[in-house]
Amino acid sequence: MKKFLKVAGIILLVFIIAIIAIPFVFKGKIEQLIKDNINKNLNAKLEFAETDISLIRNFPNASIQITNLTLTNYAPFQGDTLVSAKDVNLKMSLSELMSISDGIKIDYFSIDGAKVNVRVNKDGLANYDIAKETTTATATTESSESSTIELSVQGYEITNSYVDYNDESLGMEFIIDSLNHSGSGDLSAVTSELDTKTTALVSFVMDSTAYLSKNPVQLDAVLGVDLEKSKYTFLDNKLLINQLPLVFDGYVQVNENNQELDITFETPSSDFKNFLAVIPEAYAKDLENVQTQGEAYIKGKAGGVIDDDHIPTFDIEIASNNAMFKYPDLPKAVKNIDIKTIISNTTGITNDTEVNVENLAFTIDQDSFKGNALINNIIENPKVKANVGGRINLANLSKAYPVELDIPLSGILDANIATAFDMESIEKEQYQNTKNSGNMTLSGFTYNSEDMKNPLTINKTSLTFNTTTVSLNEFDAKSGTTDIEAKGTITNFLGYMFNDELLKGNFTINSDNFNLNDFMVEETEVVASKDSETKTEIVTTGEEQIKIPAFLDATVAVNAKKVKYDNLDLTDAKGTLVIKDETATLKNVSTNLLGGNVTLNGNVSTKGQTPNFDMDLGINSFTISKAFEELDLLKALAPIAQAIEGKLNSSVSLSGNLDKSLAPDLTTLSGNLLAELLNTDINAENSQALSLLNNNLKFIDLDNLNLKDLKAALTFENGKVNVKPFQVSYKDVKIDISGSHGFDKSMSYNFTFDVPAKYLGSDISKLISQLNDTSIENTKVPVTANLSGTFTNPKVNTDIQQAVTNLTKQLVEKQKQQLIDKGKDKAQEAISNIISGNTTKSDTTKTNSSQQEEVKSAVKDALNGLFGKKKEE
């Protein structure tokens, strides 16, 4: 007994050692085997993080786990990941693992977290076409030289996976999300049955139209598998789309160059609730309580071959007759539902597929609606014929069908429209090849959204459809305090509706009151919530933005009696707007504003991240005080002018950026301004700078400046305004002005006053009176003053003291010169008397000697007075 236990212990120890050692022994060989098989058969790069071999996980079978597997394409899809998977598990017998040199037969496999990205580019090349071409000789040689991986599965499972099939050549995308699929059966036999179960969310988009959007699909299918003929037969199958059940049978056979199929399907009953079951899952949960009447069914068949040039022929019919439904929690019922739609292809050529909606009709209350449509030639050049007509109370739609609308609908829609067109004519804008007729009216309609500050209420609008155009006969709407009436013509309605083109046309808009503030919406942004890092909330930024519609390519003639923009009131606004490419071009736009009139020509663009403009303005008879009170632009261009009262004519050319409310960004402005003042007065007290200047110059009163017919020119760029030199006058004082200021309110202005001497103080006046010379009274002295600092904190520097000092010196010199000239005159008189020997009557009693002495003395005094100095000095 002891010997037996000893032997058993040794065997057990060897077995445990083997279980531990074998995975390490075979790990490298298995990894190499997997990579060799991929590289031998596929033009793609296989990578994985690691492999884990276990003899315990599925004992007595061995298992191999591969983690983070990726299969990456080579050119022309270089770097694209075709397949990735979090985990791949393979199960096989221990004997298969031990004979790895001869290959591996896999009994079971599972894949978790797989992502398959299938792409077909515009040239028809597919990224899944990665199999290497091999000849028979090559295959025989490779078979003899390397091990292989064979599938002899009893079952398999795919969980939490995702498949995206995107065919750019057809404009089609098919997505299978949340895929869970499993199958069981003995696939090692030539013929067997495979029992499969599948659940997934399916989306299907064709030419930008979503036909399915994460619709839940459940398929329980038993397949007969014939490996020798590669034929798979549907034995017992049930498909559930949302809650629409379909049963089907038939087969699919894979041949060497094509696939062959023959399938029929239909709803298991004719209850109208089957048809209603295709609605989204959010509403399908209440189907059991929905009241229905009438019949409805879906049935079809498909057969033929699938190859590079053909698809199966098929015939699918969807129909209902005199049906109705009513949801228990909704007040309205949809009655008299008649539907007949046939989707067919009789040739196997994709372009020959035809969709024929023979009839579509329903009634809600007393309102009925009907239509029909035919679509064919769907690949080469889709052709459409359609007719719709009837009346719908839009408010009743949500009262009869549980659809969640972003905005509630209201209003009465009346329509009677017929159309026939082909997409090629629309794409080439050959609208003469289309046929449209009929009319449509909408009344009592209200539209509201987060993008609008106020609801838009359309009292009534009327459209007439013609061959090449759509006439807007009437449009009467209101939003906030704004009323709008419009008429016009749309020249490419079909291109706008079906080909994503711009809406082109010509319109006339009239309004008694147009308030732009009614259309300025405060911007919002998404921020993290304060109470949780995972939650977000929408907050208002306080910024308002106006955007020019990108979808418009139109010419609009505008006539508005009153326009409100921010704090400005405009009247009789007229002109033409050409709207294109998010740019509004203004042509001969005029309006009354601030007691005068303004004309505008130029453009405004909101296309870029920063709106911009380039505009020419003509201003006539503006009331200056109001203009500088309400227009920030003029206040920034000429702040000193706010002290002027009267009228203003001006022409302005400017360009720059706009803020989100379309107001000019002053720091980016460039341009020029020419202003002419009419019938103006000045009040220096309204300007701190002029008031300070007035107080520092006693010889002038700025309130009495003569500004008649004054013209001034400004240029501005990079936030700075340069004033070209100009001249004004005060009485007989001429004033030259020049300088510049910034939009930051800094300034540097120079004033040169040509001042008559008599205005420079009493001392100067006294000197002038002593000179007794009228010409001196008209002498003018230049006095300069400099304004610096800011408009709210100005500084004044003048040279008046120096000017007075210089003038005083000049007057003293003038007085001195007069005295000298007077002395010269006396000397000249004495000399003349001596030379001529003339004496006065009183001198006749004097001797010749005494007369000579007096003359000498007079001459001496005169000469001393002119040239001499006192000895004491």
Interval 371-381: pLDDT, tens: 999 999 988 89
- The number of domains in the chain is 4
pLDDT of 135 higher than 90: no
What confidence tier does 861 reach under pLDDT thresholds 50, 70, 90?
very low
Q: Domain boundary at 494, 527, 560, which?
A: 527
Instruction: Of 231, 298, 287, give the one whose Cα is nearest residue 264.
Output: 298
On the question of pLDDT at 264 being above 90, the answer is: yes
Number of Cβ within a 10 Å radius of residue 257: 7
Least confident of 398-407, 431-440, 668-677, 693-702: 693-702
In a domain, 95, yes or no: yes
pLDDT for 282: 56
Handedness of CA 788, 789, 792, 794 (dihedral sign): negative
**In residues, how long is the chain?**
873
Is residue 514 located within the same domain as residue 602? no
132 and 70 together in one domain: yes
Q: Which two tokens stand for residue 627?
A: 């203009």
* pLDDT over 80 at 260, yes or no: yes
Cα–Cα distance measured from residue 613 to residue 608, given in angstroms and rounded to the nearest whole number: 11
**pLDDT at res. 538:** 47
Is the pLDDT at 137 greater than 50, yes or no? no
Distance CA 768, CA 781 (A): 14
Instruction: State the alpha helices, DSSP H only, in 136-195.
Output: 136-145
| DSSP code of residue 394 | G
For the chain, percent of residues with pLDDT exceeding 90: 19
585 is a domain residue = yes
Residue 210 has pLDDT above 80, yes or no: no
Q: Is the pLDDT of residue 614 over 70?
A: yes
Check whether residue 602 and residue 480 sit in a common domain: no
Give the β-pairing of 536-545 and 612-623: unpaired
Query: Domain range for residue 431?
Result: 406-527
Q: Indicate whether 433 and 516 sit together in one domain.
A: yes
Peptide bond into 382 cis (omega under 30): no
Structure tokens at 471: 């006439």
Judge whether 423 and 499 are in contact, CB under 8 Å: yes
| pLDDT tier at 845, thresholds 50, 70, 90 | very low
| Residue 644 placed within a domain | yes
Which residues does residue 456 pair with via DSSP β-bridges, in sequence order? 447, 479
> Using an 8 Å Cβ cutoff, are 243 and 288 in contact?
no
Do 551 and 516 fall within a single domain?
no
Which pLDDT value is given to residue 18? 42
Q: Which of 527, 562, 590 is the last residue of a domain?
A: 527
492-511 mean pLDDT: 84
Please tell me whether residues 646 and 518 are part of one structural domain.
no
- Which token pair is 220? 């329980």
Residue 658, domain member (yes or no): yes
Geometric angle at alpha carbon 455, from 662 and 658, rounded to 5°? 5
Residue 727, H or E segment: strand 720-730
What mean pLDDT comes out for the span 620-638?
75
pTM: 0.62
**Beta strands at 503-511 and 552-565: parallel, antiparallel or unpaired:** parallel
Peptide bond into 76 cis (omega under 30): yes
Do 585 and 729 reside in the same domain of the chain? yes
Asked if residue 62 belongs to a domain, the reply is yes
Q: What is the pLDDT of residue 844?
A: 45
Which comes out higher in pLDDT, residue 519 or 668? 668
297-313 confidence digits (pLDDT tens): 889 999 999 887 888 99
Better-predicted residue by pLDDT, 698 or 658: 658
- How many C-beta atoms surround the C-beta of residue 582 within 10 A? 17
Of 737, 767, 798, at which residue does a domain stop? 798
* 859 pLDDT tier (thresholds 50, 70, 90): very low
479 within some domain: yes
Mean pLDDT score of the chain, rounded to an integer? 77
Residue 45 CB neighbours (<10 A): 16
Q: Are residues 575 and 435 in the same domain?
A: no
Q: Which pairing describes strands 209-226 and 733-742: parallel, antiparallel, or unpaired?
A: unpaired
Cβ-based neighbour number of residue 768 at 10 Å: 21
Q: Which amino acid type is present at position 798?
A: T
Closest CA to 191 of 151, 233, 219: 233
Written as one letter, the residue type at 824 is K
Q: Are residues 454 and 477 in the same domain?
A: yes
Who contacts 710 (Cβ-Cβ below 8 Å, separation ≥6)?
676, 677, 680, 726, 728
Lowest mean pLDDT among 9-23, 426-440, 664-678, 771-785: 9-23
pLDDT score recorded for residue 313: 94
pLDDT at residue 17 greater than cutoff 80: no
Is residue 538 one of the residues assigned to a domain?
no
pLDDT at 834: 54
What is the model's pLDDT at position 463?
Answer: 92
User: What is the sign, positive or negative, of the torsion defined by CA atoms of 9, 15, 18, 19?
Assistant: negative
* Distance, CA of 462 to CA of 445 (rounded, Å): 12
CA-CA distance, 149 to 143, in Å (whole number)?
A: 11
The reply to whether 213 falls in a domain is no
Give the residue with greater pLDDT, 813 vs 501: 501
pLDDT in tens, 545-584: 677 778 888 999 999 999 887 677 889 999 998 988 888 8
Interval 217-251: pLDDT, tens: 899 989 888 888 888 898 888 888 877 788 889 99
Q: Could you count the other beta carbons within 10 Å of the beta carbon of residue 677?
A: 22
Q: What is the pLDDT of residue 777?
A: 60
Together in a domain, 582 and 603: yes
DSSP-based three-state secondary structure for 824: helix
Q: What is the end-to-end Cα distance of the chain in Å, rounded?
A: 159
Q: What is the pLDDT of residue 849?
A: 53
Co-location of 583 and 493 in the same domain:
no
DSSP H helices in 99-184: 136-145
Whether residue 831 sits in one domain with residue 704:
no
Cβ partners under 8 Å of residue 68, min gap 6: 48, 49, 84, 85, 86
